[in-house]
Amino acid sequence: MKPIFIAGPCVIESMDVLETVAAHLVQLREQYGIDFIFKSSFDKANRTSIHSYRGPGLEKGIQMLADIKEKYRLRILTDIHESHQANIAGEVADVLQIPAFLCRQTDLLVAAARTGRTVNIKKAQFLSGMDMQYPVQKVRESGNDKVWLTERGNMYGYNNLAVDFRNIADMHHFTDTVIMDCTHSVQRPGAADGTTGGNREFVPAMALAARAFGADGYFFEVHPDPDHALSDGPNMLPLDELSGVVASLLS
């Protein structure tokens, strides 16, 4: 079975950026014979600074994602931060993502589960892989068996993350689908003067290491010009480098 590939810009900046990325994913889909799930956020509610760009908001953002879905025939993943967002986002998104900081928020997990959409729960930076049995349980006991888990590293002192790839194997105890977030795992949270820093040069190696540990899919935030992106630029993969990373994972 071919792996799951999730890719897209961190936050919705403009229709131009969304379309540039979506068109590139369609090209790679045809080139490699694989499916992509398009990812972008309508709101980044957990930015480091109150002055940081958050996105266009729920209604406008979901409409933009709906337009991408219809035009490019791509499945959509977006994250939700509050319970009331689940039903509206679930009208368009095929996968609702629970941010790592919020993976224990019961009401959020239950609301996502009740949409019937696949729920992708990102493992918190402060939890182990084995701890993720309880968020999965909350989704399943709310009537939804379509639940994925995503590894994205653990806090390692201040402003740094480390990845224990054993978490991938541990989380397979609770779900058949474990995704590696190859870009957020190279973040340096809050380490760039009020914004999050990162080391994007390690993204390809993160992906290959996750493959060795049995990951079922790979999550990449990508951007045509990450150095000028409005969110998470330092850890996003340049769009023109995605093809080479995908090829390495399919070889």
pLDDT for residue 130: 98
pTM > 0.75: yes or no: yes
Low-confidence ranges of the chain (pLDDT < 70): 190-196
pLDDT for residue 234: 86
Pairing verdict, β 4-8 and 217-223? parallel
Domain that holds residue 191: 4-250
pLDDT for residue 238: 96
Number of domains, the chain: 1
Q: Work out the burial of residue 51: count CB atoms within 10 Å of its CB; fewer than 13 is exposed, 13-18 middle, 19 or more buried.
A: exposed
pLDDT for residue 124: 96
What is the CATH number for 27?
A: 3.20.20.70
pLDDT for residue 81: 97
CA separation for the pair 138, 161 (Å, rounded): 27
pLDDT for residue 194: 54
pLDDT for residue 50: 84
Q: What DSSP assignment string belongs to 105-126?
A: -HHHHHHHHHTTSEEEEEPPTT
- Beta-bridged to residue 220, according to DSSP, are 7
pLDDT for residue 192: 52
